[in-house]
Chains A and B, each alone.
Chain A
Amino acid sequence: MDFDFQFDWSAAIASIPYLLPGIPWTLLISFGGLAFGFFIGIFFGLLRISPIRWLRWVAVGYIEIFRGTPILVQVLFIFYGLPQLLGSPINALVAGIAAIAVNSGAYISEIVRGGVQSIERGQREASLSLGLSRVQAFRYVIWPQAFRRMIPPLGNQGIISIKDTSLFSVIGVGELVRQGQIYIATTFTALEVYFMVALMYLAITWTLSILLRQLERRGIAGQ
């Protein structure tokens, strides 16, 4: 047989205008989801280390369920399953954001727990000995330090969630992969288009990495 796979740069470049509209959707789903996921993570992360046992169990249950099931199943469940329960359809964008939120929320819970538990016991004891309440000790002493330590793992999670949104082409949100698939259906230039899609993910994740590294450096400088 005679293969003549040739990478056609003009086809790759021609796809750019069709792919670009996917970027805002990818960003909207990932960062929208991560924003909610952050609060979910703080909530369950703190429950996870609460002194009250059944609250810890609630958190463990949440974390185990959403870490233990694939995000693809989660988004299918939300988009196709939940409407049967609710009796009304769910917007694909909302479903995507929700899936990122509940999924990243489970991982962020563990990041929050790890961050808070990594702060030496003496910090809390010194705060309490000065008369700060437990809430004040957490807010002014424990949390600011824990948050700094959480930045690198949060960045990791951000990158993972951005990549996870590529699965949501299955529910038809016009994110990057979906835009690529639609375009390939008419041009059959899969090699070039997926290459460009990959480049666009790299552009997003690298930008995030660089921003985070700067944030980290500033955090360390402040100590």
Chain B
Amino acid sequence: MTDTVSPTTPPIVRMQKLNKHFGSLHVLNDIDLEIVPGEVVVVIGASGSGKSTLIRCINGLEEFQSGTLSVDGNTLKPNGKSSKALQTIRTEVGMVFQQFNLFPHLSVIDNITLAPMKVRGWNREDAVNTAKRLLDRVGIADQADKYPSQLSGGQQQRVALARALAMEPRLMLFDEPTSALDPEMIGEVLDAMRELAKEGMTMVIVTHEMGFAREVADRVIFIHKGVIAEQGTPEQIFSAPQNEQTRSFLARVLKH
């Protein structure tokens, strides 16, 4: 995590004055954000505040209208006018979705090997070996030949994590990875993410799991109506929030 990062390390994500509109809706407003390699950033905020949109801009699933964004040295232009950089970024940045989004027509192993084979050009044997190693790492080595529909939600999400990791990403994005899970399966997914954080993966995580955020985050970002209203260490945000909105948000979510 951050203790291995020197202050001079160039950021892996650099966002400057980024603005995003959905029609007349101003969803992200002059966002400035830098993330350094190895950092674990947790993004919190109310529903509709723009958390998903923010991280989806990082891998180009959403276009933005003004500002600059570069990821690992590749610069994305506003309005999606940079397909070459976008392609590079997407091979370097992995993403885990709330709804898993596994490919239902492919077995677990084929879900994982598809992108390494088609995008990175690995041969099947290498891709399968890597996939098996990753499945082992997320604790489901015995499920390789099943189809997604035969797995529990927690297992599916761990496959989705393995699938993203198979591309050997430099940065991982998580959009509420445990929100669609039954409570008893949340732990197993958080465990896998915790492992990943320990290994030094750079991670940007949108989550409502405040306990987890407090434990793994190097930095917590609170978004309110498309603006970064407050950010700091988990200690600062959870124990001594300065912003009025942060306080009322935390009061609401921590009550439950």
Contact = CB atoms under 8 A, between A and B. Distances in A.
A145 B118 CA distance: 18
B156 to A, nearest CB: 12
B147 interface: yes
- Chain A: number of interface residues, binned into ranges: 20 to 34
A122 B118 contact: no
B59 A129 contact: yes
B163 A130 contact: yes
A136 interface: yes
B147 A126 contact: no
A144 B147 CA distance: 15
Given A140-B118, A223-B147, A126 B59 contact: no
A35 interface: no
Contacts of A141: 103, 114
A120 B103 CA distance: 11
B115 interface: yes
Nearest to A144: B105
Given A131-B91, A131-B119, A126 B97 contact: yes
B33 interface: no
Given A136-B118, A145-B105, A128 B90 contact: yes
A67 interface: no
Given A123-B103, A130-B167, 14 more contacts: A120-B99, A122-B101, A126-B102, A129-B164, A129-B173, A130-B91, A130-B163, A131-B91, A131-B167, A132-B115, A140-B118, A145-B103, A145-B104, A148-B105
13 contacts: A125-B61, A125-B95, A125-B97, A126-B95, A126-B97, A127-B103, A128-B90, A130-B115, A130-B163, A132-B118, A144-B105, A148-B105, A222-B147
Interface of A: 120, 122-123, 125-133, 136, 140-141, 144-145, 148, 222-223
